Amino acid sequence: MTTATHHSSAKKPPLLTRALRRTMRGLPPARHDVAHEPGLVVPAADGSPLLTDHYFPLADGDFPTLLIRSPYGRGFPWAPMYGVLFAEQGFHVVLQSCRGTGGSGGEFALWQHEAADGLATVAWLREQPWFRGALGTLGASYLGYAQWALALEPPPELRAMVVHVGLHDLYGYFYSGGAFALENTLTSTMGLTSQHRGTRHLLRASLRLRRHLPAIGRTLPLGETYVPGLGGRVPFLEEVMAHPDREDAHWQGVDAGVAAERLTVPTSLITGWYDVGLDQTLQQYGRLRRAGCDAALLVGPWTHHSALQQGWPEVFAESLAWLRAHLCDDPSGLRGTRARVHVGGRQAWQDLPDWPPATTDRHWHLDGDGTLRTRPPEHPWAPVPFRYDPADPTPSVGGPVLSGKAGSQDNTALEARDDVLTFTTAPLTEPLDVLGPVRAELRVRTDTGHADVFARLCDVDPRGRSANICDGVLRLRPDDAADPAGSAPAAVTVAMSSTAHRFPAGHRMRLQVSGGAHPRFARHTGTGEPPATATRLRPAEVALQHPSRLVLPVADETTDETADETYARAAPER
């Protein structure tokens, strides 16, 4: 039995945590009152003390345990959202600060210690009288990375994982398509260095970074100009900037997602179409499915942050159902299909037997007059050039970012710039459903060999408002981009992430092509110098050439009324 009398140090959760819990709406009623053991000391792999809070139901029973390992502290938002909420539903919740954060001993080293420290924590759990051998993991963002690290050598007690907007490959996060993700990297570094110190410290750090970000974006070298924005030097960030090549030995072992290739632990993955971790979540799902692992996927109309805010009722319900099914032998809350996605344009949820669903790749061909056509142009068109000037970099608008205006935004002003090319269809005569990964297959020529190619799919409504749907960036190298002295242009593919979106009749589809999205990505200096030490700026002349095309995965034809029924019938049993 588990009762409060077995925990001499137990107390009520902190007043602020209880107050924040009461502000959460749209959640199931609590099954139990909750008690809290704060500041327990768990020995890390090398003996460093890891501070840990334990939340548990005030009731008799053999309750399963959830492990959450966080570098962001053990307070807001994790205490009310994970600690109290899941303990209310009948789980022991073990919320731990990663080494070097939140009062834990040792030194925080990005990703290197998570696997060993996770296993050491499970060894400690085995010694606790309330631990009954049924373990699940839970957590968002870097807390998701900590789960994948533990799954590299999953302990036998691990029976379920739930990853919210999570990452498994930190190199891929810092260098999307080879371009340095400046804004998101600075924002997440600010969170890693300040949030574990408390909400006030986080607020001050956030305001400081916001104040300094414009200067960081326009001043070189980045290895020096970032320092005022973060209040001092950050060793792990300097290591990130000093090693831009994935093949560098510095990144050995960074991809914890390889665990999914052999995992047998049932895993629920939750993300949003504008989440910074969307691509990695979909990669995780694909790896799990190929390995034959039981996996579920939920993708909502969310950003990295809004999934845990506006989307929290859906995220919590999905997570609770998965954990009850696999830790409590109660599958009653599971849905009947593996995947559920929110379809933009329809503004509706759709259940699917798997992701990506059955689709047909359809091609829209770029023409030199700025149109997108379903048929290839009859004649090759003349190159369409633009000049990318890093002294006046093409700005970023919306998309999967951690700060500022994330998500779908109005791109009209951006598309009026001379350094942004657009290619647009005629108004659609009938709705078009795009479900899956989008890509642009382009022929590109540059005069320097150094450039970024940023491609974005937009939905243009009848009033002319252009809203971004998905996008991607690719950093060209001199070996990729031919010089203009008579040689053929480089054939490149820009992966533009995935989407589930309906383009309604009367709307137009638009492809943007430009040389960057700043400060979301650090501007390409045009010299090939490393991002930390580059000091010179060189404009690049870039031209698109024939033949180039946009490739969209279009859903098999089916009516709105029968689509969900069709997918539900096709869904395999779990």
User: For all residues of the chain together, what is the average pLDDT?
Assistant: 93
With contact defined as beta carbons under 8 Å apart, do 41 and 165 qualify?
Answer: no
Mean pLDDT computed over 220-241:
97
Q: What is the pLDDT of residue 528?
A: 86
User: pLDDT, tens digit, for every residue of 177-201?
Assistant: 999 999 999 999 999 999 999 999 9
State residue 458 phi and psi, 5-degree precision.
Answer: -130, 155
Q: What is the pTM of this model?
A: 0.94
pLDDT of residue 574 exceeding 60, the answer is no
Q: Does the pLDDT of residue 2 top 90, yes or no?
A: no
Place 21 in a pLDDT band, splitting at 50, 70 and 90: confident
Q: What are the pLDDT digits (tens) for 517-561? A: 999 999 999 998 888 999 999 999 999 999 999 999 999 764 343
Residue 404 has pLDDT above 90, yes or no: no
Per-residue pLDDT averaged across 230-239, rounded? Answer: 97
Residue 51 burial (C-beta neighbours within 10 Å; 0-12, 13-18, 19+): buried
Give yes or no for a contact between 173 and 280, defined as CB atoms under 8 angstroms apart.
Answer: yes
Angstrom distance (rounded) from CA 548 to CA 453: 13
Residue range 256-311, pLDDT digits in tens: 999 999 999 999 999 999 999 999 999 999 999 999 999 999 999 999 999 999 99
- Segment 88-113 mean pLDDT: 97
Give the separation between CA 478 and CA 331, rounded to whole angstroms: 55
Is-contact 419 453, C-beta < 8 A? Answer: no
Given this model, what pLDDT does residue 299 score? Answer: 98
User: How far apart are alpha carbons 423 and 392 in whole angstroms?
Assistant: 23
State percent of the chain over pLDDT 90: 88
Task: Give the CATH number of domain 359-555.
Answer: 2.60.120.260
Contacts of 548 (CB under 8 A, 6+ apart): 365, 366, 440, 441, 442, 443
Helix (H, G, I), strand (E, B) or coil at 338: coil
3-state secondary structure of 551: strand
Quick one: pLDDT at residue 403? 83
Q: Can you give the pLDDT at residue 11?
A: 81
* Range from 18-22, 59-63, 253-257, 309-313 carrying the lowest mean pLDDT: 18-22
Q: Return the pLDDT at 489.
A: 84
Q: How do the domains of the chain map onto residue ranges?
A: 1-132, 134-169+255-355, 176-250, 359-555
| Cβ–Cβ < 8 Å for 223, 532 | yes
pLDDT score, position 487: 56
Find, among 538, 467, 559, the residue nearest to 508 by Cα.
467
| Cβ proximity of 553 and 360 under 8 Å | yes
Same topology between domain 1-132 and domain 134-169+255-355: yes
Amino acid at the residue 33? D
pLDDT at 557: 63
Looking at domain 1-132, its CATH class is alpha beta
Q: How confident is the model over 103-124, as a mean pLDDT?
A: 97
Cα–Cα distance for residue pair 146/110, rounded to 1 Å: 11
What values do phi and psi take at 134, rounded to 5? -105, 110
Percent of the chain with pLDDT over 70: 93
Q: What is the pLDDT of residue 23?
A: 80
CATH superfamily of 134-169+255-355: Alpha/Beta hydrolase fold, catalytic domain (3.40.50.1820)
